[in-house]
Amino acid sequence: MKYPVKRFKSLTVALKEIEPFIRNGKHLRSGAPFGNFGDMRSREILANWLICAAFNSESQPERLTFASTRDPIGGDGVLVDTATEETWPTEHVLALVPPGDVGEIEPRVLAAVAQKLDKGGAAYATGKTLVVLLEGGGERPWFPNKVAKALPRPLHFGAVWVVGLQGVEAGEYVYNVTQMDEEAGIAHVWRVRIAADFDKWTVERVQ
């Protein structure tokens, strides 16, 4: 379905625009939404950007981009196929690290998915892409395939992605981007490495 949207000129421009907020981790977690970009938050812009970067690494540059829209679907943004202008509304949820947490990451991701489903089940989720923003995903290993196998049935969401910071290496921000294939019970994982000057990035398929 098509929606009226507002989007950046390119993913390169978008990356430079959100650079200050990526460097400021506090803003990603609790910063105010941007009124001039559909009330999207910096973490939602970053997550949608990462999904586009991962997808385009196996398609065409700038084939998938993202945009903001308020009505009629709210302010988490949409993914946009620039070839067809088809759009997929996204819903975002944070999977935060609880104070003193030393447990496994997989239950935290699944709890975030369940939290969104509890908002309205099929009526709420159908036709939307769920994006889980994982805090602390680089601190310990976790197994995305376990999450893919354990996703709720029926899932209702059209797709589920998990994005999280793997680490900062020599000024480069490294993120893992994971697409859950619940039908096959497997996960597809890309590693997106943003250059220290935020002028470019590379993507590696790791699973």
pLDDT confidence of residue 194: 98
Predicted confidence (pLDDT) per residue in 44-53, tens digit: 999 999 999 9
Alpha-carbon gap, residue 150 to 100, rounded angstroms: 25
Its pTM stands at 0.92
pLDDT confidence of residue 91: 93
pLDDT confidence of residue 93: 94
Report DSSP state, residue 60. Answer: -
Cα pseudo-dihedral 197, 136, 118, 188, rounded to 10: 70
Predicted confidence (pLDDT) per residue in 94-111, tens digit: 988 777 666 789 999 999
Q: Is the pLDDT of residue 36 over 80?
A: no
